[in-house]
Structure 1
Amino acid sequence: MRTLAVRLDSLGDLLVTGPALRALAATSDHLSLLCGPVGRPAAELLPGVDEVLCWPAPWILADPGPVDPDGVEELRAMVAAGRYDRAVVFTSFHQSALPTALVLRLAGVPWVGAISVDYPGSLLDLRHRVDEDVPEPERALSLAVASGGSLPDGDDGRLALRDDVATPPPHLPRPYVVLHPGTSVPARAWPAERFRSAGVQLGEIGYHVVVTGGPDETELTAYVADGPDSDVLDLGGLLDLEELAGVLAGADAVVVGNTGPAHLAAAVGTPVVSLYAPTVPAVRWAPYGVPRVLLGDQEAPCRDTRARACPVAGHPCLTSVTPHDVVTAVIELCGLPVPGTDRLTGRNAS
C-alpha cells in the first residue's frame, strides 16, 4: 500500500497532524507527505514519513500568488509519478480539501479521503464527518482511522518527533524556561515588554531564561533578553527547527503564544504556558497532550474571527495577562525551582 498524505499549510499544522500520519504509516508500505514550503521544516522531523514532497498551494497559503497552470501540472505529474493507492487530504476546519482532491484525481489516485463540508461529487471516496470542536490532532487522527489507518500498539496518540531529533543541548544552564515572544501573526502576540518583565521575574525565582525566535525576530528577542541586570540568553535567529526542538526539550517550561513553537514544545513533551488569543478556538488549537496553562481572555470580542491583526483596540485578550500571571503559571506547571524562596518575588522565605 502506497499512501500519500497531504497537509499544505504551516509548521504547527504539520506537527498536529503527526499522530494521523503515524496511523497511516502503520498501514502502509510507503508513506509520502505532501506539504507546503512553510510546513516543510516540521514535515522533515515527523516519524513514519518515508518521503517529503513540497508544493506551494495557492488555495491554502495565506499570501498566495496567482494560480499557475504550469505549477498545477507540475503537482499533478509529481503525484502521478508516485503511483499511490490512496491519498488522505488533511485540512483545517476553514479550508477546503476539494481543489487538492481534483488534482489528485487528475493524477490518477484511485482512492481519496478528506473532511469536507462542501459536496465533493466524485472527488472523494471518503467524505469524513467530524465534530469540529475537538482538538486538531484528534480531528486529523479520526480521518486517518476512517481512511484505514491505525496507530501501532504503544502509540499514545500524542505529538512526537523522530527519535533521532530533539536532543537537549548540554551547554545550556539548568533549570531554564524558554520565552518565545514571536508569533506568526500580530493578533496572537503578547507585548514584548511583558515578556521582558516575565524573564526578569523568572530569574529572580531561580530560573535561567532562554529567549528564542526566528531570523526575522532578532530585534524582538534582543529586546526581551535585555532586561535590567539581565543574564538572559538570547538565541534569536541562531537555531533551525531541529535545534529549537532540542532547546525546548531541555526546558522546564515554554512561554509562547498560539504559534508553531507551541506545538513543537508539545511534540517534545515540554509543559507550555500558552498565551492564547482566541481568534481560533483553544479547544481545537491549544497545545496538545502536555501539561499546560492557558492564559488570555477566551471570551474577548476577537473570539473566532481568525483575525491576523487585532480587531479590538488595546488587544484586550492578551494585555489582560500580566508577567505575574506568567510566573505563577510556570510555578503551577513546574513547582518551586529554588527551595527557600518566595514563589513570586524571589525573596528569601522566613
Structure 2
Amino acid sequence: MKNEWHSCRRILCIRPDNIGDLLMTTPAIKALKETFHCHITVLVSTLGAAVVPEIPEIDDAIICDVPWVQTNNIPLPSQFHELVQRLKERHFDAAVIFTVYSQNPMPSILLAYLAEIPLRLAYCRENPYHLLTHWIPDEEPYSFIRHQVLRDLELVARVGCIIKDRQLSIRVQERLWPLVWNKLQSLGIDPEQPWIILHPEVSEQKRKYAVSDWIAAGRKILTQRDCQLLITGKNNETEATAIATGIGEKCFAAAGVFDLQELIVLIAHASLLVSVNTGTVHIAAAVQTPVLVLYALTNPQHTPWCVPNDVLYFDVPKDLQSKNEIVKYVYRSFSREELPLATSTRIAETVSALLAMRGASSGSLEKPHTLP
C-alpha cells in the first residue's frame, strides 16, 4: 500500500552504475525525498560515487562495485556477504532498485531482500514473488521505450511520490569559476569569448567516435562559427592533443586539466557541449547547457533531458556490439529507421543551428563569462 511509504525515514536507492545513470535518477530521488521527507542513501559504484557530493538530495552513499554491473573492479563473493551485513546494520525502511530496461534487476532485488529491508520496489519482467513487496512488471522495450528519467519517475510514482520537478539535479560550485578561468587562460583560451566543449572520451570502446572524424568536425565548426574549441577528458591526454593539433588554431587540449567539480563549472559556462553518449551529456543537461550528442547506437533512452539538444548517430562496430539480447532487439529496431548520421558536415550544421537557437532566445551566443 502507498501509505506504508509515508512512514519511511531511511530509504536506500540502488543505482550501482556510472555517473550519467545516477544523474538521470536524480529527479526520482528528489521526488522520494520531497514526498516522504526521508534520509536518502544511494548504493553506487566507484565510478558513480564521484558525483554523489554534487547531488544535493543525497544524504550519504554506500560505495561498492557489484558483480552484476560492469565496473573497473572485479568484486569477490565475500564482498557481497559483507555488503548484505552493512545494509542490515543501517536499518533501512525501504529500498528502490533503479535499472535500465536491459539490466536484470534480480541481483539487486535479492540484495535488498537478504538485507531484510521491509519495503522493496523495482521493475522486473519475471514475477519476483516475495522478493519484492512492490513489483512493477517491466514492459520495456517490447511494448514501448521511455526516457530513463521517465522510467525512474514512473517507478517512484507507483508508491505515492509527488513529482514537482523533473530537472536533473547537480550542484555547480561557482566559487571554483576563478580557478577554472585561470586554467582556461593558461591553456590559451580567452574566457571572455565563447567556447564549445568537444568531449571525445568514452567509458566503453563501442561508443568511441574516431579521432579523424572529431578533427574533420572541429575544422568544419570553425569555418562556420567564430569560437574556440576545448577538448576535454579525464585521462586521455594523447587523444585530446591529437584532436586539438589536427583541428589547429583556436582548438585547445584540456584532458586531465579539470577535476569533476571544475568540469561541472566549465560545462555550465560553455556555449555548447558536443559529446559522445556519456556522463558529460547529463551534466550539461543538469546545468542547462545545450548539447549535441554523437550517439553510438546503444541505449536510445539516454538522450539529453530537458535541455536544448540534438542527436546524431553512428554505428557500433560489429565486434563491439552488445551480446545482451534486449539491446540486440532494440538495435535491430534502430536499423529499420532513418536516423541522422554523425557526419562532419551535419555536426557543424547542427552546432550552428543550436547556437543560433540559443542566441535567438537569449540575445547572445554565449553564457556570461565574467570573472567574479
Query: Per the shorter chain, which TM-score range?
Result: 0.7 to 0.9
Aligned to 2:14: 6
Q: Aligned in 2, Cα 1:236/1:18: closer, same or farther, shift over 3 Å?
A: same
Q: Aligned-pair distance for 1:229? A: 4.2
Q: Aligned-pair distance for 1:306? A: 3.4
Q: Equivalences for 1:1-350 in 2 at 5 Å?
A: 1-26=9-34, 27-61=36-70, 65=74, 67-68=76-77, 70-129=78-137, 131-132=139-140, 133-152=145-164, 155=165, 157-162=166-171, 164=173, 169-171=180-182, 172=184, 173=191, 174-204=193-223, 205-215=225-235, 217-227=236-246, 229-280=248-299, 282=300, 284-296=301-313, 306=322, 320-335=341-356
Aligned to 1:348: none
In terms of mean alpha carbon deviation, does 192-201 or 28-37 score higher? 192-201
Aligned residue pairs total 324
Q: Any idea what the Cα deviations from partners look like across 1:5-48, whole Å, max 9, x if unmatched?
A: 11011121111111111111112321111111111112332221
8 Å Cα contact 1:33-1:53 kept in structure 2: yes
User: Structure 2, unaligned stretches of length 5 or more?
Assistant: 1-8, 185-190, 360-372
Q: Aligned-pair distance for 1:228? A: 5.6
Provide the identity percentage: 28
Aligned to 2:363: none
One-letter identity of the residue aligned with 2:232: T
Q: Aligned in 2, Cα 1:321/1:130: closer, same or farther, shift over 3 Å?
A: same
User: Structure 1, unaligned stretches of length 5 or more?
Assistant: 339-350
3-state secondary structure, aligned to 2:242: helix
Distance 1:163 1:277 in 2: 28
Distance 1:107 1:6 in 2: 13
Q: Aligned in 2, Cα 1:319/1:290: closer, same or farther, shift over 3 Å?
A: closer
Q: Aligned-pair distance for 1:64? A: 6.2
Q: Aligned-pair distance for 1:288? A: 1.3
Structure having the larger proportion of residues in helix: 2
Distance 1:142 1:305 in 2: 29
Q: Aligned in 2, Cα 1:228/1:83: closer, same or farther, shift over 3 Å?
A: closer
8 Å Cα contact 2:101-2:138 kept in structure 1: no
Q: Aligned in 2, Cα 1:75/1:148: closer, same or farther, shift over 3 Å?
A: farther
One-letter identity of the residue aligned with 1:22: K
One-letter identity of the residue aligned with 1:52: A
Distance 1:139 1:166 in 2: 34
Distance 1:329 1:181 in 2: 17
Q: Aligned in 2, Cα 1:101/1:80: closer, same or farther, shift over 3 Å?
A: same
8 Å Cα contact 1:190-1:319 kept in structure 2: no
Distance 1:118 1:247 in 2: 44
Distance 1:307 1:293 in 2: 28
Segments ≥4 residues shifted beyond 6 Å: 316-319
One-letter identity of the residue aligned with 1:323: S
Distance 1:219 1:206 in 2: 26
Q: Any idea what the Cα deviations from partners look like across 1:62-83, whole Å, max 9, x if unmatched?
A: 5663651x21121112111211
One-letter identity of the residue aligned with 1:56: D
In terms of mean alpha carbon deviation, does 220-229 or 12-21 score higher? 220-229
Q: Aligned in 2, Cα 1:167/1:318: closer, same or farther, shift over 3 Å?
A: farther
Q: Aligned-pair distance for 1:150? A: 2.5
Q: Aligned-pair distance for 1:224? A: 1.0
In terms of mean alpha carbon deviation, does 45-54 or 129-138 score higher? 129-138
Distance 2:95 2:175 in 1: 29
3-state secondary structure, aligned to 1:295: strand
